[in-house]
Amino acid sequence: MDKFLIEGGKTLSGEVRISGAKNAALPIIAAGLLVKGPLTIDNMPALHDVNTMLKLIESMGVSVDRSGDRQVTIDTSSINSYKAPYELVKTMRASILVLGPLLAHFGEAEVSLPGGCAIGSRPVDLHIRGLEAMGATIVVEEGYIRATMDGRLKGATIFFDTVTVTGTENILMAAALAEGQTIIENAAKEPEVTDLAHCLISMGADISGAGTDTIIVNGVESLHPAQHSVVPDRIETGTFLVAAAMSGGKIKTTATRPDIQEAVLQKLIEAGATIESGEDWISIDMKGKRPKAVNITTAPYPAFPTDMQAQFAAMNCLAEGVSHIKETIFENRFMHMQEMIRMGGKILIDGNTATIEGSTQLRGAPVMATDLRASASLVMLALVVEGETLIDRIYHIDRGYENIEEKFQGLGGKITRVKATK
């Protein structure tokens, strides 16, 4: 497995271009299954998870053209299978997103139960119950979700008792081709859900309320070819901004969206950062100062995102003061903190709350990445603390960050990918 070798003690400065959001690109690829003909997707990030999703739909006979710069065109005209096999699904939970579109468009779907980062329970029962409410017949057997439908799905009122991003997206896509009106209550409000809705609308879907907790979809008989640009990655944006704050540095992120970063930017201001922004850029300047510790409680959008919890934990390890981080989304998302402790982090964990005492005594050490965002937090910490750090199992980071080492190198970080020996 590849590793990162990082020499720390660097102050980050410069400019970095933000890629398209993984968590928007994946459902938009799945949405391409709803239309007979091409869907052209711009600002597509070059990520392992994106490649896996494209291979998944290619395995069904879907045509995938990657010839454009940050552009992919998918065309379902040649589809000949409605099965998402275990071999491609096992590494990525987002593969469940093909279930709704396949069922709505083709009347059947067979999708392996998904895998992905081991950060906690993310059951698929909410997806299944929603589709059953729309008239689908679903059985789970031999590790597969097998769904069939006689005719079109029927509109229904679907209430999620827990906010679910992928559940909202699956039902949203299925409802686009359903007969009648579907009302999704307690829907996820994340910008990636809204971006999916905008893509579907460009394909001819009738959707209102995206970005609120009630989405209304009036089903249409068919969707038409379209072109859509993926929203910038707010988590990648936040990762680079926090890394700059940790180092006392000054950077500018471009090709991004300040209007979907408010919770993260507010916490950075609390940490002592000077933040400026324009329509598609955000800059941070710590003026060489050490950040102040900030308290974090994760919650669904627009509150503080769970996907930024590990990065702020890394900052708090170096910050001035004591902080408390409460994780309310996933029950197993503090695994990175054990690796931070190996680097000298002063962290006490009690259930879903971590207390961190900031210190200037951390040093590089051999550590292991445990999930996608944990990987990023360890890279950030390693870039800033003195000494050398070797980070193992970085395949996690390639799932969600495009060319992260090149981007940090461009900001002055000393990071090298050590290729695995065969």
- Name the β-bridge partners of 3: 418
Instruction: For residue 20, give the amino acid letter.
Output: G
Residue 199 annotated in active site: no
CA distances from 247 to 240, 271, 304, 305, 383 (A): 11, 12, 22, 22, 8
Angle at which helices 234-247 and 309-318 cross, to 10°: 0
Task: Judge contact between 352 and 327, C-beta under 8 A.
Answer: yes
Residues 6+ apart with CB under 8 A from 153: 103, 104, 131, 134, 135, 136, 174, 175, 177, 178, 179, 219
The β-bridge relationship of strands 226-229 and 214-218 is unpaired
Of 97, 117, 184, 196, which is the active-site residue? 117
Burial of 369 per CB tally in 10 Å (0-12, 13-18, 19+): buried
Give me the amino acid identity at 36: K
DSSP-based three-state secondary structure for 72:
strand
Residue 365 C-beta-side C-alpha neighbours within 13 Å: 14
Where b means 16+ CB within 10 Å and e means fewer, 37-74 reads: ebbbbebbbebbbbebbbebbeebebeeeeeeebebbb
- Of 16, 19, 18, the closest CA to residue 411 belongs to 16
Helices and strands of the chain, counted as H and E runs: 14, 24
Tallying the residues shown for the chain, one arrives at 422
In eight-state DSSP terms, residue 356 is E
Task: Supply the DSSP string of 73-114, one letter for each residue.
Answer: EEEGGG----EE-HHHHTT-GGGGGGHHHHHHHHSEEEEEPP
Q: Angle 183-188-194 (CA atoms, 0-180°, nearest 5)?
A: 85
Q: Give catalytic residues, as residue numbers.
A: 117
